[in-house]
Amino acid sequence: MTRSEPIIEDKRLEPIAEKVRAGPPKAGAPWAHERLTFEDGVALYRTNDLLALGWLGNYVREQRHGNICYYNVNRHINPTNVCVAHCRLCAFGRDAAVPGAYTMALEQVFQTAASGYSEAVTEFHIVGGLHPDLSFDYYVDLVRGLKQRFPRVHLKAFTMVEVHYLSRLAKLPVREVLLKLKEAGLGSLPGGGAEIFHPRVRKVICDHKTSGQMWLEIARTAHELGLHSNATMLYGHIETEEERVDHLLQLRALQDETHGFVCFIPLAFHPANTALAHLPPTTGFLDLKNIAASRLLLDNFPHVKAYWIMLTPAVAQVALRFGADDIDGTVIEEKIYHDAGAQTAQALRRSELIRLIREAGREPVERDTLYRPVTRTAGGEPRIDTTLTVNV
């Protein structure tokens, strides 16, 4: 557990530390101390006192979760990489006619899901490109077909960007699109596509993608309909420290309103094979700084994830002492970041995740998508206590 006093070399962090250490949350309020401000957030990102920053992030993490680290047994499914957006940040999307483009028929999606079912997954994580020719019915039938075949598996599918595109494709309001998907079996939404909310950045890295304000509005609508979601921030490209903080505080403000975000995932930009390949990759220093800063600023988010696919398992382990309480899951087949040059494995077995967590000195707890504990039968089948309150 965290020692009682941090060693702070950067004096700009001292008033922040006083706020953070004011005490655990009070009954009926998400925080006991004065909230960190925009200026505090900028100071967090500009400090080089990484160990003090990490201490503060870990302090908050242990106040909330003690020594627990969550993981899940999940499977990624990407039905198509055909995409009309042509984002400069992306190495995954393709035009339909170019080599490497693919689109799965529904039966292929169902077969792919079944092929990764050997460890009795509890979640299918489904995202893809913005395909110009697939109908809205394809997506509804995809969700319904998966739910019929795998009724106990939670379907976390379609980013806010995809939902916005489906709304335009079907000529339906976002709320109706979400209601139809929910009726078909959609359980929650992933947090991708948020990138950086600031218009200056989006104009350069994803000019034809949903705006930051529309991303937030779709998340608000989903939460109002009882669909929880994650949230992300893509860092390490052209954004400034101020734009990172602005992004996080906009997420914090929406969470105050809806309480619908389950987890925040800082995503390290992988420039290889993108139109921004001239940019350097992120460093471990920046990766850990983002884990700690987001844990401190997002005081109303229950969970912060160290996504091992992007960070590497080694950095993800260290992140468990910098504010992260989750390491993601087995994944089984990851395409989006590997197309952008990720050198990590495309999957980790449940036993490997447990080993990583224990070597970091944390206690592994398997969870479902909504952070309810999962136990396993002697045969390996998952049991989820659905009577428990969602851990958000």
Q: How high does pLDDT run on average in the chain?
A: 89
| Mean pLDDT for the stretch of residues 333-353 | 57
pLDDT for the residue numbered 351: 86
Domain tally for the chain?
Answer: 1
Q: Would you place residue 27 in the very low, low, confident or very high pLDDT band (cuts 50, 70, 90)?
A: very low
- Residue 354 located in a structural domain: yes
CATH code where residue 243 lies: 3.20.20.70
Confidence grade of residue 349 (pLDDT, cut at 50, 70, 90): confident
pLDDT of residue 161 exceeding 60, the answer is yes
Digit-coded pLDDT (tens) for 241-275: 999 999 999 999 999 999 999 999 999 998 888 88
How far apart are alpha carbons 29 and 31 in whole angstroms? 5
Whether 8 is in a domain gets the answer no
- Is 342 a residue whose pLDDT tops 70? no
Confidence of residue 108 (pLDDT cuts 50, 70, 90): very high
User: Is the per-residue pLDDT at 370 higher than 60?
Assistant: yes
Q: Region 8-16: what's the mean pLDDT? A: 95
pLDDT recorded at residue 337: 37
The structure tokens listed for 10 are 């950067």
Q: What is the pLDDT of residue 336?
A: 44
Lowest-confidence segment of 31-35, 79-83, 201-205, 249-253 by average pLDDT? 31-35
110 assigned to some structural domain: yes
For residues 364-375, average pLDDT: 94
Banded model confidence at residue 88, pLDDT cuts 50, 70, 90: confident
Sorting pLDDT into bands at 50, 70 and 90, what band is 198?
very high
Q: Report yes or no on 33 lying in a domain.
A: no
pLDDT given at position 116: 65
State the amino acid at position 246 in one-letter form. Answer: D
- pLDDT at position 102 is 92
Q: Is the pLDDT of residue 188 over 90?
A: yes
Could you tell me the maximum CA-CA distance found in the chain, to the nearest angstrom? 60
Asked whether residue 385 is assigned to any structural domain, the reply reads: no
> pTM of the full predicted structure?
0.92
Query: In this structure, is residue 213 part of a structural domain?
Result: yes
Name the residue with tokens 């089984």. Answer: 332
pLDDT of residue 381: 83
pLDDT digits over 321-331, tens only? 999 999 988 86
Q: pLDDT category, 309, cuts 50, 70, 90?
A: confident
Domain that holds residue 225: 68-369
pLDDT > 70 fraction of the chain, expressed in percent and rounded: 88
Residue 153 lies in a domain: yes
pLDDT for the residue numbered 330: 80
